[in-house]
Amino acid sequence: MSTIDYTDKIPNNVNLSEDRTLQRALEHWQPNYLNWWQDMGPDGSHGFDVYLRTATSTTPDGWAQFGHVKMPDYRWGIFLAQPEADRRIGFGDHRGEAAWQDVPGEHRANLRRIIVTQGDTEPASVEQQRHLGKTAPSQYDLRNLFQVNVEEGRHLWAMVYLLHKHFGRDGREEAEALLERRSGDQDNPRILGAFNEETPDWLAFYMFTYFTDRDGKFQLCALAESAFDPLSRTTRFMLTEEAHHMFVGESGVSRVIQRTCEVMKQTGLEDPAELRRHGVIDLPTIQRYLNFHYSVTIDLFGADQSSNAAIFYSSGLKGRYEEGKRADDHVLKGAHYKILDVRDGVLVEKEVPMLNALNEVLRDDYIRDSSAGVNRWNKVIEKAGLPFRLSVPHKAFNRHIGSFAGLRVSPDGRVIGEIEWQANVPQWLASEEDRAYVASLMGRVVEPGRYANWIAPPPIGINKQPVDFEYVRFN
């Protein structure tokens, strides 16, 4: 069960060959997937040999293998985490009952929607990132981009497997539709807002993998609690891969900051315009990128009060982050939670039934986790002896979903009018000018061990390889 057979057409650890109908259906979907990858996957990458990790087993010790792989020949497969013997449902109305191996009829529509929504984000991010390979700041970074891309492709496989295996004809139709929507498309966009935004440059890419892949982590953690055991096992293994994506983001931003600080110290300059003449990204611009990606990402958690969230929890479909570590009854009937509301133009706390506030609970967990990394970035600035500090904006800032949608709120949490918003927005969110400047720095660096001027090299390479390792063979 634990080792994956790579002689199969579709590598898997789910005994696919024992279910001929399912195997045929997935083998039918496979060429459509490969066509999608050809069209929408990393632009111009198809001849490259890339030093990639591939999953070889789903046991925690040594689950992956590294080696050069020709990009389109990457073996996308279906891997579920090991089953837990006698797994019980951990929360909601069915708490204590045996976890489900099949989809109960009454939860079919909701589970399908949850799986499709998660599945849709995976190819979306590949589409958003597809041109970045042309401007990679180093081979090391190019390799990391491709690693993230192939694994997002695999995450799509993970969700498509569930749709094909457990949702019959509707599931197959949804699997096709996952290959048809396109990020940012006017007529047939991806389902969630943040996945229709552009990722036009590498600072945006690092911010995306830090903030938006971390949303993925929290959604996957909540789904890993699910009463529907195949969903739980699928997402648990996806989380193993996801950790690297967030590492790419956190270390990427950190290296940008480090390089900027080096130049600030060497030159004694602080003025952004002067620093830009030295070809680095000034810290206020990094803050504005952060404000954008953070606010767009926290919208992904949905409305602050949601009856769907309550239904998903009570029926056992989606739990909380680290459900098992919480010391409450895991049913939450009668429990309350404080959320923010707007009254007479001011933000005020109000208590609401916790079941309805579970999107907000997950968002708050996310906010704690993502803020911790911002503090680690500040350590880099502090170590350089510079006074500037980055921070996450107030959670009501630049929101488009929930009770703050349409409200103008400054990064420090004051409700303001349209005029004040318009006057300040160029200082708060990455402007056209910021983006044009960052775009002007993006140039392709391909020699092993060389790094673009605006980013510091990483302290160590991937899989303990040296930083000047030949991570990509361009052929």
Mode of pairing for the β-strands spanning 64-70 and 49-55: antiparallel
Q: Which two tokens stand for residue 20?
A: 């001929």
Decide whether 224 or 261 has the Cβ nearer to Fe ion.
224
Question: Site residues for Fe ion, window 122-151 (CB under 5 A)?
Answer: 122
Stretch that binds Fe ion, among 117-125, 282-290, 324-332, 369-377 (CB under 5 A): 117-125
CB of 314 to Fe ion, least distance (A): 27
Stretch that binds Fe ion, among 73-81, 83-91, 213-221, 457-465 (CB under 5 A): 213-221
Compute the distance between CA of residue 314 and CA of residue 95 in angstroms, rounded to an integer.
9
| Site map (CB under 5 A) of Fe ion, residues 418-457, x = contact | ----------------------------------------
Task: List, as one string, the DSSP characters of 262-291.
Answer: HHHHHH----HHHHHHTT---HHHHHHHHH
Decide whether 100 or 206 has the Cβ nearer to Fe ion.
206
Stretch that binds Fe ion, among 14-22, 44-52, 206-214, 321-329 (CB under 5 A): 206-214
How many chain residues touch Fe ion (CB under 5 A)?
7
Nearest CA to 111 among 166, 154, 158, 152? 166
Residue type, 457: P
| Site map (CB under 5 A) of Fe ion, residues 65-104, x = contact | ----------------------------------------
Decide whether 125 or 305 has the Cβ nearer to Fe ion.
125
The radius of gyration computed from the CA coordinates of the chain, to the nearest angstrom, equals 23
Compute the distance between CA of residue 298 and CA of residue 295 in angstroms, rounded to an integer.
5
Q: Positive or negative, the Cα torsion across 418, 423, 428, 434?
A: positive
CB of 213 to Fe ion, least distance (A): 4
Stretch that binds Fe ion, among 12-20, 240-248, 327-335, 404-412 (CB under 5 A): 240-248
Task: Name, in order, each residue with C-beta under 8 angstroms of 383's C-beta and a sequence gap of 6 or more.
Answer: none
CB of 134 to Fe ion, least distance (A): 21
CB of 199 to Fe ion, least distance (A): 13
CB of 74 to Fe ion, least distance (A): 15
Q: Which two tokens stand for residue 434?
A: 């910021």
Stretch that binds Fe ion, among 112-120, 154-162, 300-308, 449-457 (CB under 5 A): 154-162
Decide whether 216 or 302 has the Cβ nearer to Fe ion.
216
Does residue number 213 form part of the binding site for Fe ion (CB under 5 A)?
A: yes
CB of 115 to Fe ion, least distance (A): 13
Decide whether 122 or 225 has the Cβ nearer to Fe ion.
122
Using an 8 Å Cβ cutoff, are 368 and 390 in contact? no
Decide whether 236 or 399 has the Cβ nearer to Fe ion.
236
Stretch that binds Fe ion, among 33-41, 209-217, 349-357, 428-436 (CB under 5 A): 209-217
Stretch that binds Fe ion, among 121-129, 266-274, 278-286, 411-419 (CB under 5 A): 121-129
Decide whether 242 or 360 has the Cβ nearer to Fe ion.
242
Local structure of residue 351 (DSSP, 8 states): E
CB of 148 to Fe ion, least distance (A): 6
Q: Which two tokens stand for residue 253?
A: 């931003």
- Treating both helix axes as pointing N-terminal to C-terminal, what angle do 229-267 and 139-166 enclose, rounded to 10 degrees? 160
Task: List, as one string, the DSSP characters of 28-90.
Answer: HHHHHHHHHHHHHSSTT-TT-EEEEEEE-BSSSSS-EEEEEEEGGG----B--PPPPTT-B--
CB of 390 to Fe ion, least distance (A): 23
Compute the distance between CA of residue 358 and CA of residue 360 in angstroms, rounded to an integer.
5
Decide whether 145 or 283 has the Cβ nearer to Fe ion.
145
The greatest distance separating any two alpha carbons of the chain, rounded to the nearest whole angstrom, comes to 68
Nearest CA to 252 among 196, 290, 284, 288? 290
Nearest CA to 156 among 196, 133, 193, 125? 125
Stretch that binds Fe ion, among 152-160, 252-260, 286-294, 408-416 (CB under 5 A): 152-160
CB of 366 to Fe ion, least distance (A): 14
Compute the distance between CA of residue 123 and CA of residue 120 in angstroms, rounded to an integer.
6
Compute the distance between CA of residue 445 and CA of residue 435 in angstroms, rounded to an integer.
20
Using an 8 Å Cβ cutoff, are 114 and 171 in contact? no
CB of 76 to Fe ion, least distance (A): 13
CB of 382 to Fe ion, least distance (A): 29
Residues that bind Fe ion (CB under 5 A): 122, 152, 155, 213, 216, 242, 245
